[in-house]
Amino acid sequence: MTSERQLHLHPVAAVAEAFGGLRDLAVPLVIGVVAGGRGSSLSAIGLGVLGVAAAAVLGIARWRSTRYAVDDRALYFRAGIFSPDETVVPLDRIQSVDTVAGPIQRVFGVTGLQVQTAGGGEDAEVVLSALSAGAARELRAALRHPDTGASSAGRRLGGAGLLATALTAPQVGVVLPVVGGVFGALQNGLAGESVAVVRSVNSVHEVVLVVLGLLGCAWALSTLGAIVAFAGFEVHPVEGRLRIRRGLLQRRAVSVPVNRIDGVQIVESLLRRPFGLVTLRLEITSLGGSETAERTLFPLLRRDLVAAFLEDFVPELAGPLALQERPPRRARRRFLTRPLLAAAGAGAALVVALPAAWPAAPVLLAVAAVAGLDAYAAAGVRIDATRVVVRGRHGAARVTLVARRGRVQRLAVSRSPLQRRAGLASFSVTVARGTRIAIRHLERAHAAALLGRLAPPQA
């Protein structure tokens, strides 16, 4: 590794690496302890001690083999025990230097830094797991990304906002693991009783209780996850960047260049819409992390404050949000057809599998009709001199995408055979990392006109 001065991480990095190694060894250790426990308790304890010692040795070895250095041209990083990897990151390619402090770092008063480049992917190019406050400050300055602190113009998520965010956060994806876990427990944990338990659910009352129980478990898990993810959330504009901090167990501070933001999603989830609340999410090509929390600009905001928020934090995307082009009235029934057919099929399958649940069939049809009408009411497009605003439905949520015209990755107009006969077409906009919002059943001439307005001029 080329450099004038090579530096080691803080010794706490060895502890962090040891815990990481212990996590990697958790499954074989548990298997070994259980297997050893059948013979004697001493052998089980011995296996456990051996695993902890191996993790400690591995953590120290990784710490000693990890080095970094910086000069006026690049950051140099070397890591690996048997086959070290060397990374060279030119300073002018560094987009952000983010701070990550997990429970171990916070206990010992150190911090971690993650270096992200403009063309980077999901993971940071360089991860420095533990640095003292002084070393982190010096390194940030050498990388030309000093931590200038938070400005007074920022916005914080208070305690009431955090509670509202957590209570309205449940996602459908949380329900599936809960259902799988419950059924797995019935099949494995309760052994012979499982069949009797499942078959005993044969009345509407019992079906409702089971569904409510599963939803309650999912809601509790999602609420806890939201509190852990968004506790202490704050965003501040700092010298052309947005400094976003969040996290309860792992405190994370991300620096996002404003000029790299391709767009912002305004998400109105099913639980938040009745209260006029939305979530703002970033659309940016190179921002580490793919989870929703990693890309949140602000977790909970009143809908009527969105325009002012964008004006303060992302002024290039500020402006009217009212839509100019919508599907015609004659397209309304087409928005109803697909959800009603899906609901009818699901209701029929449910009644066949569980006859006692027949009242759910008309409920599904009613929900599908409401969803279709809402999709029709939500759909629309607005094109300004520098922005494009597209709104549609994603699952049960309304999503409004506000994007820079010059950052649109792909435009498309498509027509199904039925749309072709009716003189209709679908118009879609794709930005950043592949986020796509499609508006179905626009007038064909209007969709073509939108494509012509947004398409770059031909040479």
Q: pLDDT, tens digit, for every residue of 283-314?
A: 987 655 545 677 899 999 999 999 999 999 99
Calpha distance 265→2 (Å, rounded): 43
Find the mean pLDDT for residues 201-210.
62
In single-letter form, the type of residue at position 115 comes to V
Q: Which two tokens stand for residue 456?
A: 């770059």
The DSSP secondary-structure symbol of 172 reads H
| Amino acid 264: pLDDT | 96
Calpha distance 312→309 (Å, rounded): 5
Judged against a pLDDT cut of 70, whether residue 385 lies above it is answered with yes
Q: Which two tokens stand for residue 145?
A: 């990304």
Given the DSSP bridges, would you call strands 277-283 and 234-238 parallel, antiparallel or unpaired?
Answer: unpaired
Q: Which two tokens stand for residue 3?
A: 């450099």
Q: Which range has the worst mean pLDDT, 47-61, 227-241, 259-273, 330-344?
A: 47-61
Calpha distance 365→254 (Å, rounded): 44
Q: Is 173 exposed, middle or buried (0-12, 13-18, 19+ CB in 10 A)?
A: exposed
143 vs 147, higher pLDDT: 143
| Amino acid 190: pLDDT | 46
Find the helix or strand (DSSP H, E) in which 228 lies: helix 204-230
72 vs 194, higher pLDDT: 72
* CA 378 to chain centroid: 23
Q: What's this model's pTM, rounded to 2 decimal places?
A: 0.82
* Sequence-ordered strand ranges (E) for 284-347: 296-302
Nearest CA to 266 out of 400, 434, 109 is that of: 400
* Sequence-ordered strand ranges (E) for 64-207: 67-70, 74-79, 85-90, 94-101, 111-117, 126-131, 155-156
362 vs 286, higher pLDDT: 362
Burial 284-315 (b: 16+ CB within 10 A, else e): bbbbbbeeebbbbbbbbbebeebeebbeebbe
Nearest CA to 280 out of 223, 242, 250, 253 is that of: 242
Given the DSSP bridges, would you call strands 67-70 and 296-302 parallel, antiparallel or unpaired?
Answer: unpaired
pLDDT band at 425 (very low <50, low <70, confident <90, very high): very high
Q: What is the mean pLDDT of the chain?
A: 83
Nearest CA to 292 out of 279, 305, 306 is that of: 279
* CA 254 to chain centroid: 14
pLDDT band at 172 (very low <50, low <70, confident <90, very high): very low
| Amino acid 306: pLDDT | 96
Judged against a pLDDT cut of 50, whether residue 241 lies above it is answered with yes
Q: Is 319 exposed, middle or buried (0-12, 13-18, 19+ CB in 10 A)?
A: middle
Nearest CA to 300 out of 158, 182, 191 is that of: 158
Judged against a pLDDT cut of 90, whether residue 42 lies above it is answered with no
Calpha distance 287→261 (Å, rounded): 10
Judged against a pLDDT cut of 90, whether residue 231 lies above it is answered with yes
| Amino acid 457: pLDDT | 62
Sign of the four-CA dihedral 415, 418, 421, 426? negative
Judged against a pLDDT cut of 60, whether residue 146 lies above it is answered with yes
